[in-house]
Structure 1
Amino acid sequence: MTDPLAPLLELPGVEEAVGAAREAVDQVHGHPVNRRGWPATAAEASVRAARASAALDGGDPEIPTAGEVDEPHLAGALRIAESLGTLVPIWQRAPMQALARLHVLAATDLTGDDELGRPRPSRGVTRRLDLLGEIVAGGTSVPGAVLVAVVHGELLALSPFGTANGVVARAAARLTTISTGLDPKGLIVPEVCYLRRSDRYAAAAAGFATGTDEGLADWILFCCEAVEAGAREATSIAEAALTG
């Protein structure tokens, strides 16, 4: 069968960007701290990712020094962070089930129970989600960085839920980063790059939504840049652990 994502590898600059992203992640995994102490650095990366993702959706990323997190966007992103490990195998086997769970975790404090985990009742949305699920569950053999970009961009473009679509899209991208083996330990933090370059992030996502070759290439290249930046963030986490 023809791989539906294979043509993306032929877009200008994509193959080189994917290789650079892969190399950056491999270097992080080879850091002395991450050879044995990776659970601690992965936990810190997950929290940083959650804070940045919440901020991108308009939430306050500051975690209170005492008491529970009551800011709804941050609370949802942190719930996802705590659950990612259990969601990886579900994402690989039944992506739409995992996606519904992501929305429940992200939006519990933002919407009513009757809307949690339920995409908008649109035939177009349903069809595209089903196609995305088929691709995630083994329908492509493209490198992980490309699939991550497609999952991320498609969910941002579809905005399938009534709330928390950004947090859900970035969480699904993080699940894909782990499940494809691009970053199996969850060490990198591309979400920080998305936050720091939020205007570029929004523009590139809009370009992806157009479906043009130029828009698709620009989004994939930006996502690969974010992976490299996320690897640098991961290195700073490992270095802090080494000196601390």
Structure 2
Amino acid sequence: MASPNSDPLADLARLEGVASAVMAARDAVDAVLRDRGRRQVTPEQQADALVRAARANAELGDLETSDQDGRPGRSGWEAGTLRLYVELVDCAALIRVSPLQAVARAHAVLARGLLPEDDLGRVRADPAAAERMASLGRLLTAPTTAPVIVVAAVAHAELITVSPFSIGNGIVGRAVEHMIMIAGDLDRPPVTVPELGHLQSGADYRRALDGYRSGAANGVREWLLHVAAAVTRGAELSPLRPAGTLRGGRRRG
């Protein structure tokens, strides 16, 4: 059992290469926000970013479930995911205070119309899943010196690994990652699209998740590096960046 003064997330942040990858991701987000505070973000720009993020998340959800009978297939998740991202900022206000409530709310909004009302936001009847979710709740409410990206990455992977709900776990996990980025003032107001970074990584996303699930230190490290790269790519794909612009203001072509 971890001691009351332990900080397991900070321990993960010290894995080789993680600190520098996280710093690069933070710099990429700061570049979008012009070093924070110097860029005015309109409601339309924020809405555009959230729609892009929702659609990328839904596409990943379709890829995860399209071959499973009785589950939404290609494009089947978009409506529910768009509903969820309308509430993403409100859920972000809860994610570090009452995380299990935020997760349950996210699932209920996402899966409305796809599951019976009694199953919305309800963890499946599995004592091991319930205990691991309780552990995640404690982790997200405990103080930590770990960077926001590390916290978000762990929550994302835990929700997919535990799969507490009968459907929609991947979409909820990715949404929770973004909630934590918002709550931690990394992406506030939300203008980046880390979900699109995950989508564009292709098979590397699933391989990185498998590494986390293995429990091996190197597998967890590779997952954290993957998430940092997705956050960096999500900043580069923000609607606030001019089309075709690369780091440092250079343009393609």
Query: What TM-score does the superposition give when structure 2 sets the normalisation length?
Result: 0.85
Q: Where does residue 242 of structure 2 map in the other structure?
A: 239
Q: Where does residue 178 of structure 2 map in the other structure?
A: 174
Distance of 2:194 and 2:93 partners within structure 1:
22
Counting helix residues as a fraction of each chain, which structure ranks higher?
A: 1
Deviation at 1:32, TM superposition (A): 10
SS of equivalent residue, structure 2 residue 95: helix
Q: Where does residue 191 of structure 1 map in the other structure?
A: 195
Q: Where does residue 105 of structure 2 map in the other structure?
A: 101
**Percent of residue pairs identical:** 37
Supply the AA of the counterpart residue of 1:44. D
Q: CA RMSD in A?
A: 1.9
Supply the AA of the counterpart residue of 1:205. L
Query: Which sections of structure 2, spanning at least 5 residues, go unmatched?
Result: 64-74, 244-253
Aligned 1:51-66 pairs, distance under 5 A: 51-58=55-62
Q: Where does residue 139 of structure 2 map in the other structure?
A: 135
Distance of 1:145 and 1:159 partners within structure 2:
21
CA change 1:38–1:23 in 2 (3 A) is: farther
Distance of 1:221 and 1:172 partners within structure 2:
18
Q: State how many pairs are aligned.
A: 228
Supply the AA of the counterpart residue of 1:6. A
Supply the AA of the counterpart residue of 1:91. I
CA change 1:34–1:81 in 2 (3 A) is: farther
Of 181-190 and 25-34, deviating more is 25-34
CA change 1:34–1:166 in 2 (3 A) is: farther
Match of 1:74 among 78, 91, 95: 78
Pair 1:92 & 2:96 matched: yes
Match of 2:23 among 2, 10, 19: 19
Supply the AA of the counterpart residue of 1:53. N
Of 17-26 and 88-97, deviating more is 88-97
Deviation at 1:16, TM superposition (A): 0.7
Distance of 2:224 and 2:101 partners within structure 1:
26
Query: Which sections of structure 1, spanning at least 5 residues, go unmatched?
Result: 60-70
Pair 1:6 & 2:10 matched: yes
Q: Deviations over 1:102-146 (max 9, x none)?
A: 000111132111211001122211111111112212342200010
Q: Deviations over 1:66-106 (max 9, x none)?
A: xxxxx541111101111112212222221101110000011
Supply the AA of the counterpart residue of 2:89. G
Distance of 2:20 and 2:111 partners within structure 1:
37
Match of 1:209 among 208, 213, 219: 213
Supply the AA of the counterpart residue of 1:152. H
The one of the two structures with greater contact order (alpha-carbon pairs below 8 A, sep at least 6) is: 1
Query: What TM-score does the superposition give when structure 1 sets the normalisation length?
Result: 0.88
**Does the 8 Å contact 1:144/1:182 carry over to 2?**
yes
